[in-house]
Structure 1
Amino acid sequence: MIHSPFFIYMTKKIKDNESIKPLINLLKVGQVSFKALDKFPFIYKLNPKAQLLKEKFLKIQDMSNILYLPDQFNEIFAKHGWICYGALSQKVLEESVKLGLENKIDEAKKTLIDSIDEIYIDLILIKCQSREHFKLRIDLLTLLKTDYLEKRYHACIPLLLAIIDGLANDISNHIGFFTESSQFELYDSITAHSSGLPFLKEIMNSSRKATNIEEITIPYRNGILHGRDLNFANKEVASKCWWVLAALIEWADERRINKQKNQESFLEILQSYNQTSRLNQRIDSWEKRTRKGSIFWQNQTTETLEKSSPEYTLLEFLQAWKNKQWGKLTPTLLHTIGKHQKKETKDIKVDYSSIDLLNFYIINSNDQSPSSTIIKTHLDYIKDRQNFIKEVSISLNYAHQDNGLPELRNEPNGKWFISQNSLSEILF
């Protein structure tokens, strides 16, 4: 009997990953143990700690369904062009699987497509800013974001496919995403599990030898770029291209870590799982701050703002720029994280000293995501002996201070950083 590649991929389960399987086994052991204890209820009276332990176990058991969701997601949606990846929103994961299991596939598809919105793409762009190879393509990706949001799917789909191929080529030593020899499976991974990114690559790389005028819903690379699939320009195909790019970021991060087998204890796994679960809950419960009017913001200074706010960081940055204190600019810029600060300060002085900043104030501030805010700012400056007055939308990202990866605002290891890309129009 010959099995399809999909069947072969699906016989391997994400729940059997080294970092997940011990936790599932522990839950099974706990389930059997407490069933046995329940037959002797007097034990709980003799030992109240046993009752507390059971209550904690039941809470963990209630949350344990998430351990099975990645497999369920891939079983339902991989053949349609979506795969589960490590950074996928728990809310989207749970909602889509629930709909899928209820056989409401069209509703589930709409949930997945609509999840690729401006906030989702902004998070991708933030991640790209701090990663080798990805940051080289920020300008193109920013243009593609505009194309996608303005429904120019015919423009963004082919270029996203080309960028995905080029990124895989750069990361894996000149082996593109769509080449037959490319290998994307990684040990102990959700994203790069055999049922995930490797399987999706096979689908997208399908041979498309005949010209087709029927609408497609999978981003077939060969059909689109070779002009065989002519009716490809729709939101579903475009959203799946962004989805693949998000998964590729996860794959690149995990590939760099090169995870090996370890002897992590059950307790460590439980602690890690609980931390991740709590973080996901905080992300899902995050809400934008109430927007203030321009009069409010024009009256704000570093004396009136909270030090933990993005607006405080921006005003400190602009004041240092106005005072030509180049050393104070360096640790505030996102692209300098992890680099030699003295060397970066020399480069920053070259970039910023050509502009005399005369005056500035905030016009408005708009939270974009749990880790990003865009602040429209009035800048009055002199450059090349000419006076300019401009409104500039300056992007700030809340990121880990050591590696530049996005953090949920106000997490202890993070701080606000300025994205120099948002100032490029006046700097260069």
Structure 2
Amino acid sequence: MDNDRIENNPSYKKFKKDLEGAEAIHNLAKFLSFFGLKNKELNEAFSTLPGMKKQLELLSKSPDKFNDHYAQRGWIAHESMNSDLMLTSIELADKGLIDVAEQELINYYSSDKIQWLIHQLKGVEAFSNRYNFFLLAYEDTLAERYHAVVPVLLMMIDGAVNDIDKGKGFFADKTNLTAWDSIAAHSSGLTALKEVFSDGRHKTTKEEITLPYRHGILHGRDLGYANKTVTAKCWAALFAIKDWAYAVKQGKKIPPLPEPELSFTESLSQLKNSLTDYAESKKRNDLVGKKVEAWKARQLNVGSDILEKGLSTDYKDFTPEQEAIRFAEYWTKGNFGAISKQVHQFSKTPVNEKIEAGKTRKIFEGKKLLDYKIVKVVDCSPAITEVTLATTIEHDNKQHNKEITLRFIYDGPKGEILIFGDTGGQWRFIENFFHQIQYIY
């Protein structure tokens, strides 16, 4: 693995091999068509081959290119990284504008755009145990309290890796941060990043640093650590480690047994199905694209366009404002299981509904919702809307007036993202406001 490239990961190699096989079969099919042997469905499926080849070329080579440019600067490619951000960073670096690109990375990983990545941390126990610290670090990041963010993230990274790797932290020499068929956990990824972050720091300096040197920061030697750049790199490293943790959770520390060789007929059938699926997926994406182009944000006045307060049945079906009122109704009734089902799950891993309901109960129990009303609705994108509720909450015989903003994402029945106006979906909120409820005193 040490001398390998990410583009040679098994998943990429298999896809490449399948495409090469498909091309060979396509050539055979074209040859046979001269003799009157034609298959319209198969030819339509084969028509997607050039697009698939181009997409594979882009996807498979991008992580290596990104790491080549940025690993020594403290950034690595990882599975949950925004692909547009990665591609833009590579393009700018290729044009000699790597400093401009790095500023884009810094801005991204120190903004509210990382909110959904933070939510994904709940999918691994080692991170969910520390989730409150991540929420506090996120608040401190947006408030530019970088002196508080960096030490917390470095400590939580070390502790979480300790839990996952059974007693060896992220910065320990013997910690194995590789995994089979992974981007973040490739030897050019986290292993290289650890070496950069573990640089020895042997004297006290006030000079501003641009890398999160663990030893210098946590031992009080690098006094110039409290800046946006170091903070962003800590967050990016955390999300890459999360992707490694998912790979470990899926049993990828040990490569699987080789798959059995398929017969020619089986290969043809598998390729045909794959190509047909790709063609259907492209049609769906094109349809969604047209809907996105036609979408316009609603300009809603609360009190005239929509009710400030009412029963959820008074609101239009399949709207985020209806779901916001449902949330308030569930809270009023103490139905914490129903609230937990309203939470958007970024991970596709099935959740334990009883455990999630218990977590929600722990946060909301003892906080009685006395009153609520909608004060603002903002359509942020075709699938995302923010609904702000003004609430009155009673806790320990004291009343607290709080505004809570629920950021909704429109989910389809199979977990796909729907567009506003589609029916049959479920508006689910990101529970980034739960800590505001939990820490009411």
Same fold (TM over 0.5): yes
In the alignment, is residue 363 of structure 1 matched against residue 375 of structure 2? yes
Check whether the contact 1:378–1:391 (CA below 8 A) recurs between aligned residues.
yes
Give 1:263's match in structure 2, choosing from 259, 266, 275. 259
Q: Which residue of 1 aligns with 2:52?
A: 60
In the alignment, is residue 390 of structure 1 matched against residue 420 of structure 2? no
Whole-angstrom CA distance in 2 between matches of 1:370 and 1:106: 33
Give 2:435's match in structure 1, choosing from 401, 421, 428. 421
Output aligned runs, 1:102-251, within 5 Å.
102-251=95-244
CA, structure 1 residues 314+269, in 2 after alignment: closer, same or farther (shift >3 Å)?
A: same
Q: Which residue of 2 aligns with 1:303?
A: 313
Cα offset, 1:81, TM superposition: 1.1
Whole-angstrom CA distance in 2 between matches of 1:344 and 1:76: 45
Whole-angstrom CA distance in 1 between matches of 2:333 and 2:233: 47
Deviates more, 1:153-162 or 1:299-308: 299-308
Q: Which residue of 2 aligns with 1:4?
A: none
Cα offset, 1:114, TM superposition: 2.1
Amino acid of the structure 2 residue aligned with 1:24? K
Cα offset, 1:194, TM superposition: 0.7
Check whether the contact 2:11–2:181 (CA below 8 A) recurs between aligned residues.
yes
Where 1:303 maps in the other structure, the secondary structure is helix
CA, structure 1 residues 162+343, in 2 after alignment: closer, same or farther (shift >3 Å)?
A: closer
CA, structure 1 residues 324+95, in 2 after alignment: closer, same or farther (shift >3 Å)?
A: closer
Q: Which residue of 2 aligns with 1:377?
A: 389
CA, structure 1 residues 333+146, in 2 after alignment: closer, same or farther (shift >3 Å)?
A: closer
Cα offset, 1:94, TM superposition: 1.3
Check whether the contact 2:393–2:402 (CA below 8 A) recurs between aligned residues.
no
Give 1:21's match in structure 2, choosing from 13, 22, 37. 13
Q: Deviations over 1:394-423 (max 9, x none)?
A: 4456598999xx974669897625734342
In the alignment, is residue 12 of structure 1 matched against residue 20 of structure 2? no
Whole-angstrom CA distance in 2 between matches of 1:126 and 1:150: 19
Whole-angstrom CA distance in 1 between matches of 2:127 and 2:362: 26
Check whether the contact 1:297–1:361 (CA below 8 A) recurs between aligned residues.
no
Deviates more, 1:246-255 or 1:394-403: 394-403
Check whether the contact 2:80–2:243 (CA below 8 A) recurs between aligned residues.
yes
Amino acid of the structure 2 residue aligned with 1:315? I
Cα offset, 1:66, TM superposition: 1.9
Cα offset, 1:69, TM superposition: 0.9
Give 2:361's match in structure 1, choosing from 326, 341, 348. 348
Check whether the contact 1:371–1:407 (CA below 8 A) recurs between aligned residues.
no
Check whether the contact 2:48–2:278 (CA below 8 A) recurs between aligned residues.
no
> What percent of counterpart residues are identical?
27
What TM-score comes out, normalization by structure 1 length?
Answer: 0.78
CA, structure 1 residues 106+332, in 2 after alignment: closer, same or farther (shift >3 Å)?
A: closer
Deviates more, 1:371-380 or 1:393-402: 393-402
Q: Deviations over 1:356-403 (max 9, x none)?
A: x443211124567898765321224555555x3613314456598999
Q: Which residue of 1 aligns with 2:332?
A: 322
Cα offset, 1:242, TM superposition: 0.6
In the alignment, is residue 338 of structure 1 matched against residue 352 of structure 2? yes
Where 1:141 maps in the other structure, the secondary structure is helix
Amino acid of the structure 2 residue aligned with 1:179? A
Q: Deviations over 1:138-196 (max 9, x none)?
A: 33222222322233323322221111111111222221111111111001111101111
Check whether the contact 2:45–2:275 (CA below 8 A) recurs between aligned residues.
no
Whole-angstrom CA distance in 1 between matches of 2:79 and 2:68: 16
Equivalenced residues, count: 412
Deviates more, 1:51-60 or 1:81-90: 51-60
CA, structure 1 residues 351+114, in 2 after alignment: closer, same or farther (shift >3 Å)?
A: closer
CA, structure 1 residues 31+214, in 2 after alignment: closer, same or farther (shift >3 Å)?
A: farther
CA, structure 1 residues 350+226, in 2 after alignment: closer, same or farther (shift >3 Å)?
A: closer
Give 1:313's match in structure 2, choosing from 309, 320, 323. 323
Check whether the contact 1:334–1:417 (CA below 8 A) recurs between aligned residues.
yes
Where 2:105 maps in the other structure, the secondary structure is helix
Check whether the contact 2:340–2:357 (CA below 8 A) recurs between aligned residues.
no
Structure 2, unaligned runs of 5 or more: 261-266
Check whether the contact 2:168–2:174 (CA below 8 A) recurs between aligned residues.
yes
Structure 1, unaligned runs of 5 or more: 1-7
Q: Which residue of 2 aligns with 1:96?
A: 89
Whole-angstrom CA distance in 1 between matches of 2:172 and 2:381: 35
Q: Deviations over 1:21-51 (max 9, x none)?
A: 122234455667878999x899599858586
Where 2:168 maps in the other structure, the secondary structure is coil
Where 1:292 maps in the other structure, the secondary structure is coil
Where 2:389 maps in the other structure, the secondary structure is strand
Root-mean-square deviation (CA), in Å?
4.4
CA, structure 1 residues 256+273, in 2 after alignment: closer, same or farther (shift >3 Å)?
A: farther
